[in-house]
Amino acid sequence: MNKKSMTIFLVSFFILLSAAFMFYYYRVVKESRSPGLAFWGDDHGPAVRPFRFVNQEGDTITEKDVKGKILVVEYFFATCKSICPKMNENMAKVYQAFRTNDNILILSHTVDPKNDTVAALKAYSQRFDADPKRWMFLTGDKAALYSQARLSYKITAVEKTTENIDEDFIHEKYFVLVDKDGRLRAHKDGDEGQVSLYDGTDEKSVAQLIKDIKILEAEK
């Protein structure tokens, strides 16, 4: 083989080698990479504001008790006959997936504190055999609960439905994911894909939430 032929051979070889490497990278490495999680909300800083609520055991819970935890947050009410039963059936799947994990905490806030007393929430939590250290059902002052929903967790886009807090009402189907640093997170389909919130009534969305919690656990 003369020098010219050898040069052509080597150039062709390295072109094919580069093509093979790029194929491997995009088909194997990149496609197997986790899609990751997006930040959402007004900014990427801590979102959880100071709060003071009471759980199903009658214990006072503040933001200090949840600091450094991955949180799954919802708003519901115990006498709901529409979306809430399905939401909490699905939340029970999240709970079962992480019930022995000290880093994961579920916060289920009532939107009807007048009727959802500590005793009522205790009875409701027993339907799911919920450990109060892992799955907290929270009640308290209605204005404080609603402010936390809107300002910390962005649980609804409606700032206020009425000037009278007694007539105000939140009824949303979404679960909110909060990372260890108190930042709101959401599922992202690919590097520049659509950002999706977690629909608590949808089993596929809840399954994705469970996967994304595992991603957060591994995130530094």
Give how far Cα 38 sits from Cα of 41, 148, 192, Å.
10, 21, 10
Q: Where are the domains of the chain?
A: 1-33, 37-218
pLDDT of residue 5: 56
pLDDT digits (tens, 9 = 90+) for 8-26: 544 454 455 555 444 443 4
Banded pLDDT at 41 (limits 50, 70, 90): confident
Question: Where does residue 47 rank: exposed (0-12), middle (13-18), buried (19+ CB within 10 A)?
Answer: buried
CATH superfamily of the domain spanning 37-218: Glutaredoxin (3.40.30.10)
pLDDT digits (tens, 9 = 90+) for 198-219: 999 999 999 999 999 999 999 8
Q: Is 87 helix (H, G, I), strand (E, B) or coil?
A: helix
pLDDT averaged over the chain? 85
Q: Is 145 helix (H, G, I), strand (E, B) or coil?
A: helix
